[in-house]
Structure 1
Amino acid sequence: MKKAIIASVVASFVAVPAMAADVTMRFGHVGEPGSLFEATANHFAACVGEKSGGKAEVQTFGSSQLGNDKELLQKLKLGQVDFALPSSVMSSVDGLFGVFEMPYIIKDRDHMRRVQDAMMDTFQTAANNNGYHIVGLAENGFRHITNNIRPINLPEDLKGIKLRTPNGEWRVKMFQEYGANPTPMAFSDVFTALQTGVMDGQENPYTQIATAKFQEVQKYLSVTGHVYTPAYILSSKKGFDGQAEDVRAVLAECATDTQTFTYETAARMETELLDVIKAAGVEVNEADKDAFIAASKPVYDAFAEQVEGGQELIDAVLALGNAS
């Protein structure tokens, strides 16, 4: 029943050109079957196949088949993969992307769209300077905490909890401030780490929690919404620039189309997959977000001090959150 619910949430898209494609590209990601990442990559692939009239084909590979996030970033540069779908790990590419790791800095998807419209040139330049090209934005989503020790209502409830985080220094700093013992780990290793007790807990959006079946090895889900992580439909700059102009236009158009699809799908999944997690017997509680926001100030201060232009970046993103 659980699998049926998850399957009903995500439409499956497969690009099948009528004839052999002139250009075949590989898209690797870490999402499990039924995940938002899978839906995003498959929708992008289907769109490219359709809008190119079969000239271009994107083949998708999920479940870390082509590597974890850090490996995929390297494979993009080596030309071994054409697209990846990183999220938090982008803060390791350039410090500017760490602004999205600041707790509670993004209010909702409308806020994220305003940031994108006003500031995309800044992030594209940072990506280009490091050898990458952002074809478009998708999302990973609003993140929440699961663990096997206790419900998390306040930051101090995290004291001593061994918590898996993605590879990214700001997520580690955040949970150190909250009192947890954070450890970066590849997503593909998390289920076993939770099952064996190597890790007590982890933090992810509902779609990653449910489709990776973390509810089978976790007792508590605390709704914190502590970080909203965008995802990036990412290529290497060399690879993107090397495509024919008409192919580049199709890729950009399909990335825009995919973002709308992803946002709509994610909003629906947030409700439906929370029900899946509850149905597995996980105890769910609403955390005190005001307490977490108050405890997050040192993370903002550190970002402003360590990243060039960090305070200006924070101020710009926050100001767009207050726009109508």
Structure 2
Amino acid sequence: MKLALTATVAAFALTGAVTAAELRMSHQWSTGDIRHQVAEMVAEGVAAADVDLEIKIFPSASLFKAREQYQPLSRGQLDMTVLPLSYAGGVQPSYNLTLMPGLVKNHDHAARLNESAFMAAIEEKMAEDDVMALVHGYLAGGFAGKDSCITSPDDMEGKQTRAAGKAFEQMLAGAGASIASMASSEIYNAMQTGVLDAANTSSSSFVSYRIYEQVACYTPAGDYALWFMYQPLLINKSTFEGLTPEQQAALTEASAAAEAFYLEEAKKEDAESRRVFEEAGVEIADMTAEEFEAWRALATETSYKAFVEETPGGQELLDLALSVD
């Protein structure tokens, strides 16, 4: 059995199970980020269980670069990570469905997806790479317009926009927008200099990059939102299986608590972004159910169509996701 554990493993039982170990967890975010807080909850929960298992966290891409964590995890060179699963879409094309416009309506819908046959199918793909999910979680995002509101496909015609992910670029281009690809950290300057008319990114990025200083209208994630990105906490499967039953139980229990925290904090991030933009005097425009369905219809002809064409078994996986109410 492959054990993706660090050199600090103290001893092994006769069965080969680990009795004392340090696991290394990597992620790309700062220590103030919600995803670091999730990682800390798991580490602290395991430590409190007193099962001779310690999780050492390496934040801010200090161990592996942001988009270079999945392969080391799969190969057993890294024990745990928190990352957007779509980063590994080149390894498993089915993962691209975890950053797809209109697939998730809101956070409660995301939670139902996490318990669905769709997620079970995604987890089967993870297992092929010797990876398993401990904590499921989605973070949401919205739209901002420099001069006008963006709630429906009709609002994008002729606009120069930044989109968060390839699938969103495909959909927004289908709505008549011109796409300017850039990191979310570049949105502020691009709006300030007239390069961008609109932007799509996460709730937290809208706040942390002070986009409220450059826009007239904000469409936050609320009862309906288009942008949801699956960002789980993962572990090397063989590493988990090599732990003692007590260590596995402690890790599973801590992860369940962290998952519940993740869901509630993700909702708070959206609410906080709304508050910040309102206080800055930015108009708030909520997306309606009818507008959401118009976006999904457009995505069906653009992003979904491209995914199905590019992904073996893509239609079956897409149908599983869309079947979750």
TM-score by length of structure 1 reads 0.75
Match of 2:316 in 1: 312
Q: Residue 69 of structure 1 corresponds to which residue in structure 2?
A: 66
1:263-316 per-position Cα deviation (integer Å, ceiling 9, x unaligned)? 122223332331012212333223433432332221333333332222222322
Aligned pair partner of 1:293 in 266, 290, 296: 296
- How far does residue 91 in structure 1 lie from its aligned partner after superposition? 3.6
Report SS of the residue matched to 2:139: strand
2:139 counterpart residue number? 140
Aligned to 2:178: 181
Question: Which has more radius of gyration?
Answer: 2
Distance 1:230 1:186 in 2: 18
- Name the residue aligned to 1:247: 247
SS in 1 for 2:231: strand
**Alpha-carbon separation, structure 2, partners of 1:125 and 1:241:** 16
Secondary structure of 1:69 counterpart: coil
- On the 8 A contact 1:29/1:37 being kept in 2, the answer is no
Report the CA distance shift for 1:228/1:40 in structure 2 as closer, same or farther (over 3 A). same
Give the secondary structure class of the aligned counterpart of 2:43: helix
* Equivalences for residues 1-324 of structure 1 within 5 A: 22-30=21-29, 34-52=32-50, 55-62=53-60, 64-66=61-63, 69-77=66-74, 79=77, 82-119=80-117, 120-141=119-140, 143-166=141-164, 168-187=165-184, 199-223=196-220, 225-237=225-237, 239-241=239-241, 243=243, 246-287=246-287, 288-298=291-301, 299-321=303-325
Going from structure 1 to structure 2, the CA distance change for 1:74 and 1:314 (only over 3 Å counts) comes to closer
Partner SS state of residue 101, structure 2: coil
CA RMSD of aligned residues (A): 3.3
Partner SS state of residue 149, structure 2 = coil
Q: Give the superposition deviation at 1:260.
A: 0.7
Q: Which amino acid letter does the alignment assign opposite residue 152 of structure 2?
A: L
Deviations 1:92-149 (A, max 9, x none): 44222333334322234443333332323311121232453322212212x2112435
Distance change >3 Å, CA 29–CA 172, structure 1 → 2: same
In 2, distance between residues paired with 1:57 and 1:262? Answer: 19
The structural deviation recorded for 1:23 is 1.0
User: Which structure has the highest helix share of the two?
Assistant: 1
Deviation at 1:240, TM superposition (A): 4.4
In structure 1, C-alpha distance between the alignment counterparts of 2:42 and 2:180, rounded to whole Å: 32
CA contact (8 A) 1:35 1:208 kept: no
The aligned counterpart of 1:12 is none
Cα 1:89–1:116 shift into 2, 3 Å: same
Does the 8 Å CA contact 2:70/2:88 hold for their aligned counterparts?
A: no
2:25 alignment partner, SS class? strand
Is the 2:99–2:229 Cα contact (8 Å) retained in structure 1? yes
Distance change (3 Å), C-alpha of 1:89 and 1:216? farther
Residues in 2 aligned to 1:315 and 1:56: alpha-carbon distance in whole angstroms = 40
CA distance, structure 2, for counterparts of residue 51 and residue 316 of structure 1 = 37
Q: Is the 8 A contact 2:43 2:54 kept in 1?
A: no
Q: Secondary structure at the match of 2:136?
A: strand
For 1:195 and 1:238, locate their aligned partners in 2 and report how far apart those are by CA, in whole Å.
49
**Is there any run of 5+ residues in structure 1 with no aligned partner, and where?**
1-20
Q: Is the 8 A contact 1:151 1:221 kept in 2?
A: yes
Deviates more, 1:122-131 or 1:204-213: 204-213
Name the SS for the 1:302 alignment partner: helix
CA change 1:181–1:58 in 2 (3 A) is farther
Task: Note the C-alpha offset of 1:261.
Answer: 1.0
Separation (CA, whole Å) in 2 of partners of 1:72 and 1:192: 29
Is the 1:29–1:68 contact (alpha carbons within 8 Å) kept by the matching residues of 2?
A: yes
Question: How far apart are the structure 2 equivalents of 1:217 and 1:49?
Answer: 45
Distance 1:207 1:116, change over 3 A: same
State the distance in 2 between where 1:188 and 1:67 align: 20
Same amino acid, percent of matched pairs: 23
Distance apart, 1:86 and its partner CA: 1.6
Of 90-99 and 74-83, more deviation after overlay is shown by: 74-83
Which residue in 2 is equivalent to 1:11? none
Q: Which structure 2 residue ranges, 5 or more long, are not aligned?
A: 1-19
